[in-house]
Amino acid sequence: MDQKKSLLFLNLATFRQTGGIEKVNRSVLKAFNDFASQDSDFKFNAISVYDSDNQVDPRFISPDRNQNCGGSKFSFLLKTAQKFFAADRVLLGHINLLPLIFPFKVLCPFKKIYLYAYGIDVWNLSTLQKKIIQWINPTIISISHFTSQKITEQFQGFTPNIKRITPCLDPFLVVPQKLQKQTGKFNQDKDRFVLLALSRLSAAEMYKGYDRTIEALGKIKQSLPNFLYIIAGKADPEEKLRIEKLIDQAGLKDHVLLTGFVADSDISELFLTADVFVMPSQNEGFGITFIEAGLYGLTNIAGNIDGSRDALLDGKLGELINPNSLDDIGRAIQKVATNPENLSLQNRQQRQQTTLEHFSFESFSRLIQKEIL
């Protein structure tokens, strides 16, 4: 770099949960932490509202560059005040941070502000949020074409400055060398056609499509008798009860497995157990689980009306279908299940290679540094 630069990354949380936003935040932390370690002319600091020090993984961020407030907004504002004015660039990890930094921007009107935009967090901006965006005019880092479009549609007479940077694979995720389908604790029958969904099951977020997949499987079970649909992820009691009722109604008691919470150490086995990853979402900002499935060579079946299109590279990594159509979901499942070539080791390897070419951490790191620095 030809001059000293500094970046302050303000985020709600990065380590206390394992959702998509947190995964993106971790990649952001590591990209700039690595760069700060390599170039003494670049200064990087991060402040989290909700993380606590004991939750932080030091592989992603050096402790001396990271501050955590444990949920104290007063502490967050105080720490932000101490770092904001010294940084020449400020990256906000969530739309909810805009009002908090607004007073600082008033005092420093020429400060460069960047805002990360994921999915439903920015699809329905409040009047206040839109006014602040128009006044500050931050560079918005959007994770998908769909999110970019949803943001732009909300403004009249104002064009937001949007840069698209798709998420990447976890930088510490081990690339599997053997992609042959395996059996294990999730499935003991090597001849069974295994479908997989990996998601939190929440009554407040009923857009992932595992419920419609159950209904679609109920309609085609006679033509696809030997299958197992694994729905992996922690479920809240209300949603678990609803899904179990759907399973009974579809006559799939022996064909659907609800695993509950799956430890990180079991994720690899889970993906290698499956033949296809099925999650026809309706409101996905991107869908990092799709590219994780691609890393294991799985074909994806996803919705064609949200950010899933970016994760599937417009169909290169699987089937894009109408997520509201049970018939479309069923046809896509049958298409994959009845095509031996699609399930071959060669095609698994090709999908893995395509995933690595488009969604590696190294590519993400270079791009985000280019756009922000």
| Domains recognised in the chain with CATH numbers | 5-165 (3.40.50.2000), 193-359 (3.40.50.2000)
Could you tell me which residues are beta bridge partners of residue 367? none
Structure tokens at 223: 């033509």
Helix %, strand %, coil % for the chain, to 5?
45, 20, 40
Confidence at residue 3, expressed as pLDDT on a 0 to 100 scale: 58
Confidence at residue 343, expressed as pLDDT on a 0 to 100 scale: 86
CB burial of residue 205 (10 Å; 0-12, 13-18, 19+): middle
Confidence at residue 372, expressed as pLDDT on a 0 to 100 scale: 94
Closest to 330 (Cα-Cα) out of 194, 207, 208, 220? 220
Q: How are strands ordered across the β-sheet holding 276-279? A: 256-260, 227-232, 193-198, 276-279, 299-303, 318-321
Confidence at residue 305, expressed as pLDDT on a 0 to 100 scale: 95
> Chunked in runs of 10, what are the mean pLDDT values of the chain (373 residues)?
79 92 96 96 97 96 96 95 94 95 91 95 95 96 97 96 97 93 90 94 85 97 93 94 96 96 91 96 94 97 97 97 97 94 91 97 96 92
